[in-house]
Amino acid sequence: MNKGLVKISPCFEDVMPQEYKELVEKGSYGQDYGVADLGSFKELIEEHPLCAGCGLALSMRLILASLPNPESTIIVGSTGCSALAFSQVALHNIHSLFGNQNAVATGLKRALKLRFPDEIKDVVVIAGDGATADIGLDMVMQSWFRRENITTIMLDNEAYANTGGQESGMTAEKAVLNMAPKGKNFPKVNLADVAQVAGCAYVATCNPAKSRVLEKAVKRAILAAREIGPTYVQIYAPCPTNYKLKPDEVLATVKNREKEGTYPTGEFISAKAQELFESLEGGSK
Amino acid sequence: MLNRYYRVQAGPEGYLPPAAASMGVMLPEKGEALVEGIIVSEEEAMQKIAEKIVNAKNPVFFPGPNILWAWNDSVLEKAYAVNDLVQSSGARVIPMPDYRPKYPMINPEVEINPNHPNLTIWHNHIDVCVFVGVHCHYANIALKIIRGGTDCYTIAICGEAGHEDAMISLRDVSIDTLRRLNDVIKSTGEGLK
């Protein structure tokens, strides 16, 4: 798709709701907007039903502003808090069964390659930690082993948040949640390292407190997935409801965790991805 | 449960009305159409559509994404043909630009959504509605909800195989079909003068 396709049939322009006219006229389709431009264009998500201060909601907003090609991006989601918001997003999106997201994305990407061989179609999986690291780990890892050209983004709130607060594989060791009152008994899964070993061309861990870093990671992951193979971005997006944080404490928590080294950020760039980024970014990292 | 006497008529039929297909209503073959669950000729169905629209107090067209967005030249041509229908019918247009549920609520004054179409129908006191250019699976959801919760008469102008859950449904609708329907509506309207 290109921006030329996102236009209203002239005979129905007068009845189209204002929101859609603005998406066409002031939206990010076909534009080179980024997080620095937030506030100056019509965003792909404006309303959502997530909790006040939700780290996941802020991360989604930043991810959507970072997409290099929003008009030709298809999001594949899974069960979880993010699924409640993704139906509000002005992008094509597919909600898959819990854990199936990378299998669905695989089929979708392969079909799009056949149907539109000369066009860029980005398939981006955005799912929570439960869907990515627990229930869907099989599908996630198999898609990496097969070197599928899809980007996997995990919104890691370290819990099954909308079912009352059960621990997930990504919950930190000893963390106490409503449904894990004794504290978690084993360490947080290091999925970033697993992704690297499993064949991802680019892996990043980041958080919404550093929006430009997050933007760069999302863009790089999508561009590398187009050209090379699977990529993985893990975003720490704390849940204020289950971790008993006030909305204004969420970003401070993110910063503290990074500072104390319990949620480090960083990148793994394969040799092929490095070559690609150097050609696209003029040698800058 | 199959019921050979089941008729697809204006509701409100109550919470969770059955899918007409599950009650034995079959889709029409090519060249045929459905009127209230019975297979009739396309011409007969067109005449019924014209009568319903012309006699309605507040007929409204619900164009969907297939024609609201200018995907290609063929779509544009179809959109203009639907617009001609709207003009001939003296109907109002309320668009269904996409299928997002858009919680907490859509604005029923200016748009309709397949997840809660009853809100738009109640708000605007619509007695006859015409679905056109809506993807079939979303049209089916909306048609059932409307039949369940409102007394609105539903018409589906479909480019594919038609809709059992609409009170009247045409299938394989092309630009030529739209033009023929337009002629029928015009002549029916003239007959009432």
d(CA A189, CA A193): 9
Helix locations, chain A, DSSP H: 18-26, 55-66, 81-86, 101-115, 129, 137-145, 191-198, 211-227, 250-260, 271-281
Sign of CA dihedral A271, A123, A163, B101: positive
Cβ neighbours of residue B139 closer than 8 Å, sequence gap 6 or more: B64, B114, B131, B156, B158, B163, B166
Decide: residue A196, CB within 10 A, 0-12 exposed, 13-18 middle, 19+ buried.
middle
Report yes or no: B100 and A88 within 8 Å, Cβ to Cβ.
Answer: yes
Q: How many CA atoms lie within 13 A of A227 on its CB side?
A: 16
The domains found in chain A, sorted by start residue, are 52-281 (3.40.50.970)
pLDDT tens for each residue of B59-108: 999 999 999 999 999 999 999 999 999 999 999 999 999 998 876 678 99
What interface predicted TM-score (ipTM) does this complex get? 0.92
Q: In this predicted structure, what is the pLDDT of residue B5?
A: 79
pLDDT tens for each residue of B102-147: 766 789 999 999 999 999 999 999 999 999 999 999 999 999 999 9
Q: Give the bridge partners for B82, in sequence order.
A: none
Domain ranges of chain B: 32-192
Of residues B39, B48, B82, B67, the one with CA closest to residue B177: B82
Top residue of B93, B100, B112 to mutate, by most chain A CBs within 10 Å, is B100
Q: Which residues of chain A have pLDDT under 50?
A: 1, 284-285
Q: In this predicted structure, what is the pLDDT of residue A46?
A: 83
d(CA A125, CA A140): 10
- Is the domain B32-192 a CATH 3.40.50.1220 member? yes
Cβ neighbours of residue B183 closer than 8 Å, sequence gap 6 or more: none
d(CA A273, CA A213): 17
- Which two structure tokens, joined as six digits, stand for A149? 């050209």
Top residue of A12, A20, A24, A71 to mutate, by most chain B CBs within 10 Å, is A12
Residue for token pair 């965003």: A43
DSSP 8-state code for residue B31 = T
Report yes or no: A69 and A92 within 8 Å, Cβ to Cβ.
Answer: no
- B→A contacts (Cβ < 8 Å), by residue, are 63, 67-71, 75-76, 79-80, 83, 93-95, 97-98, 100-104, 107, 110-111
Cβ neighbours of residue B53 closer than 8 Å, sequence gap 6 or more: B59, B89, B91, B128, B130, B155, B185
Q: In this predicted structure, what is the pLDDT of residue A234?
A: 98
Closest approach of B94 to chain A, Cα-based (Å): 7
Query: What residues of A are in contact with residue B91 (Cβ under 8 Å)?
Result: none
Would you place residue B6 in the very low, low, confident or very high pLDDT band (cuts 50, 70, 90)?
A: confident
Classified as helix, coil or strand, A282 is coil
- Which two structure tokens, joined as six digits, stand for A187? 């360490």
